[in-house]
Amino acid sequence: MNAFLKNLQTCPHRRVQLDEIRRHFYAAFPEVQDSPQRGAQLLKSLQELQITGHLRLPARGSWERLGQPPLPLWITLSGAQPQAERRDYGTIAWAPELDFWPQLKAPQLEALMPVNDFLLRRRGLLPLVPAKERSLEIFGDEKRLERISQSGMLFGKLPLSALSCFQVSAPLPYRPGAAPGRPALVLENKDAYWSFGEWNTKSNYFSAVVYGGGEAFQSTGAALAQMMHEVGAGHALYFGDLDPKGIRIPLEFNRKTELGQPQVSPAVELYAWLVSNGVRRTKPECAEVPPDLAAAWLEEPLASAVQAIWRQGKWLPQEALGFEKLQQGVIRAVDVHQPCATYQDLL
């Protein structure tokens, strides 16, 4: 118990977060780290320290909602910590990947200590694993690494690849077609996904029909790459609503893609059909959209045609090109390896 308390008392602040509590507990009792009873043993130690007056546990509203058992999200140490017991971070052996440590403040350094311990303990080539798995190994908390990354604590100086892990993309539902080499088509909305997917089972026009799921598609670069590999897709096309949001989704997807991941191109023939035949609905805010947005996604003169519709305060939902229209053969055969250059080619 004394070793655990001594570790806690090196913390620079009286309030200690759960990830730090776990790290200090495992440092004092490394033999329990892999025990299924480690949570219960940690809770018992905290309760004993509260009884002896060394710390206070928070009210039940500040405990984990899940867990066996649930643990406090933080504790409060009793009394000010002596200056002499505060950690001298200059005496610590820092991993080369963390050579930016002098730029960090004490709370950031303290939170980074488990990462440093991991990098020193597991040098060399490691298998690439999902980030939550690595986070659980390092912190005893599968979400902690993501929170640190999002907080800007690492200033973008420590990529996940340095920890041999990666963020797993949300999975992309798709219906494969018997058409390797043809493009895959990503649809913004679920009803369009069903219609195109059902139609494509017989037409085999696309190597796969993919459900993008609206804005969720923006962070699925790795999942799209995996899907394209599985179906042998030649490239990927995107078709969504012709409103500002529907244009921004694929643009943002392409902006976020990492080196080596595929990008999406506009399904020009489908957008052209929508402009000529779709249902125009009112959305006054479309008239305020910058004129370069449509041009950032679509080539001329299709971009100008879309912009003209927006200036009227109108937009076009993709559902106008639905299952019945597809069965009627409105998609004309084109060379998908040489996409149509202009809107006029498709009229």
Contacts of 154 (CB under 8 A, 6+ apart): 112, 148
pLDDT of residue 33: 77
What's the token pair of residue 43? 């809770």
Instruction: For residue 154, give the 3-state DSSP assignment.
Output: coil
Does the structure show a pLDDT above 70 at 84?
A: no
**Looking at residues 183-189, what average pLDDT do you find?**
97
Read off the pLDDT of residues 228-282 as tens digits, 9 standing for 90 and up: 999 999 999 999 999 999 999 999 999 988 888 999 999 999 999 999 999 999 9
Q: Which CATH class is domain 174-346?
A: alpha beta
pLDDT of residue 154: 62
| Strand 184-187 with 174-176, pairing | unpaired
Q: Is the pTM of this model over 0.75?
A: no
- Domain residue spans of the chain: 2-85, 89-166, 174-346
Q: Give strand pairing partners of 72.
A: 63
The CATH fold of domain 2-85: Arc Repressor Mutant, subunit A (1.10.10)
pLDDT tier at 332, thresholds 50, 70, 90: low
**Looking at residues 307-328, what average pLDDT do you find?**
96
pLDDT of residue 194: 97
In this prediction, what percent of the chain has a pLDDT beyond 70? 91
Asked if residue 318 lies in contact with residue 276, where contact means CB atoms within 8 angstroms, the answer is no
Question: Using CA atoms, how far apart are residues 98 and 22, in angstroms rounded to an integer?
Answer: 22
The crossing angle, in degrees rounded to 10, of helices 131-139 and 18-28 is 60
> Residue 234 — φ and ψ, nearest 5°?
-75, -45
Give the closest residue to 299 by CA, choosing from 332, 263, 343, 236. 343
253/26: higher pLDDT = 253
- Per-chain mean pLDDT for the chain: 86
Amino acid found at 123 = R
